[in-house]
Amino acid sequence: MNPPTFEYFAPTGIDEVIDILAKYPGEAKILAGGQSILPLLKSRISSIPYLVSLSEIKGMSYVVEGKDGVKIGSMTIDSDLENSDLIEKRFPILHDATKQLADPLVRNVGTIGGNLSHADPANDLPAVMISLGARFTIRGKKGSREVEARDFFMDTFTTALEPDEILTEVYIPFWGRNSGGAYVKFKKNTWNFSVAAVAVQLELDGNTCKKAQIATTAVSPKSGRVESAEKHLVGKPLTDDVIKKAAEEVAASAEPVTDSYGSEEYKREILKRITREAIKKAISRAGGN
């Protein structure tokens, strides 16, 4: 379990990172927490000639409250998100996810930027960011740009990032007063990825659903919004029947694959049940009943 040879860079500034990425397009990759990229190298699934570590760059790890939302530096580790009171209070859905993500050892080094940029459909944070409507700040040779979370994940392990670009910041807008969300994860085992997981973020008007954003983990080639299911909720009173229909739609629109953890049908069934659970939890957090 030793990686193939690579050249290692540890620049102190983001511009230098971009320069190195641009110099070796496609051959240079960022090394953040290393919890996805190092296993790939060590098991020799990938070979990456140039690794650019972000560890020497100061000021990329922060969770800051602004007027309309929260800014998170891309090198912020999962544990810092998990232990942030601000996150727990304002975005319980993200708290749900970070406290169940991998194990404490991985969370102590894995970063939000890496979790999102890796675009593994089994990673927990893409679905959470999509359902929260987060925006990502990206920098590259051509300057800085912003991308909506929902447009960032293109395919399995593929994002909107160009080879010379780096994800620097995640911005999560505050939701209205009567809003709430939940992330329910059906884990393979306690320290691992999901068989299926779902992120549900809602805004209510009384008992009626005003806004709904739902995204899934591990049951499709990429995490994305399940708009067909959201439609079942928006504008309706959230009765058991409405919740059930939405959950069925989430399950029906997923594309799980059979593996040693279970068949496609089983995974759909699990997804249906956890979606109901997540919607109910989101409603109660939004102050509904």
Partner 1 sequence: MVELSEKLVKGEGRFVDDIQMPGMLYLGFARSQYARARILRISGAQLTHKEVNFDIAEVGEGATEGGSELLKHPVLAKDYAGYVGQPVAAVYSDDRYVAEDLIDSVDIEYEPMKAIVDPEDSISREEMYPGVKSNAIVDRYFGDDFTPDSTDIVIERKMVNRRIATNPIEPRGVVAAYDGNKLTVWVSTQSAHAIKEGLSEALKMEPDRIRVVQVDTGGAFGLKGGLFPEYVVACYLAMKEKRPVKWIETRREHLLASRPGRGAVAKLKLFAKKDGTITGLKGEVIVDNGAFTGGSGEFSPIFIVKQLAGAYHLPNAYVRALSVLTNKAPQGPYRGAGRPEAMYFIERLMDGLADKLKMDPVELRLRNAATETYTSPLGFQVEKSRPFLESAIRELNYEKYKGKENVGFALLILYHATFGGESARIKVEDGKVRVWTGGNAHGQRHDVFIKTLLNEELGVSEDHVEVMKGDTDMLAEGVGAWGSRSSMVLSSAVIVAARKIREQIEKKQGKYTVQALLAGKWDHYEYFNYDRMESSLGANLVTADVDDYGRVKVKDCLSYYDLGRVLDPDNARGQNAGGAVQGIGQVLSEELSFDEDGLPLITSISDAGVLSADLVPRFDIKFHKSESPLPSKAKGVGEAPTIGVPIALSRAIELATGKTILETPIKPEYLLPVEKE
Ligand X SMILES: Cc1cc2nc3c(=O)[nH]c(=O)nc-3n(C[C@H](O)[C@H](O)[C@H](O)COP(=O)(O)OP(=O)(O)OC[C@H]3O[C@@H](n4cnc5c(N)ncnc54)[C@H](O)[C@@H]3O)c2cc1C
Beta bridge partners of 225: 215
Label residue 248 exposed, middle or buried (CB < 10 Å: 0-12, 13-18, 19+): middle
Using left for φ > 0, alpha for ψ between -120 and 50, and beta otherwise, residue 49 falls in: alpha
**Residue 273: contacted member of ligand X, partner 1, none (CB under 5 to 8 Å, by partner type):** partner 1
For residue 187, give the 3-state DSSP assignment.
strand
Q: If binding is defined by CB under 8 A, does position 263 make contact with partner 1?
A: yes
**Residue 37: contacted member of ligand X, partner 1, none (CB under 5 to 8 Å, by partner type):** ligand X
Beta bridge partners of 167: 138
How much of the chain is in helix, strand and coil states, percent to nearest 5?
35, 30, 35
CB of 240 to ligand X, least distance (A): 30
For residue 71, give the 3-state DSSP assignment.
strand
CB of 241 to partner 1, least distance (A): 12
Beta carbons within 8 Å of 246's beta carbon, 6+ residues apart: 212, 214, 229, 230, 232, 233, 275, 279
Write the interaction track for ligand X spanning residues 186-205; mark x where CB under 6 A is met and - where it is not. Answer: ------xx------------
Chain mean position to CA 135: 12
Choose, by CB under 8 A, the member of 15, 259, 284, 287 that binds partner 1.
Answer: 259
Q: If binding is defined by CB under 8 A, does position 25 make contact with partner 1?
A: no
Q: How many positions of this chain bind ligand X (CB under 6 A)? A: 30
Q: How big is the chain by its Cα radius of gyration, in Å?
A: 19
Closer of 43 and 228 to partner 1 (Cβ): 43
Q: If binding is defined by CB under 8 A, does position 239 make contact with partner 1?
A: no
CB of 30 to ligand X, least distance (A): 4
The encoded tokens of residue 59 equal 């000021």
CA 167, 71, 281, 151 dihedral sign is: negative
**Residue 288: contacted member of ligand X, partner 1, none (CB under 5 to 8 Å, by partner type):** none
> Please, which of residues 171-210 interact with partner 1 by CB under 8 A?
186, 188-193
Write the interaction track for partner 1 spanning residues 27-56; mark x where CB under 8 A is met and - where it is not. Answer: ----------------xx------------
Q: Which residues bind partner 1 (CB under 8 A)?
A: 1-5, 43-44, 186, 188-193, 259-263, 266, 269-270, 273
Q: Which residues bind ligand X (CB under 6 A)?
A: 29-37, 39, 74, 101-102, 106, 110-111, 113-115, 117-118, 120, 123-125, 161, 166-167, 192-193
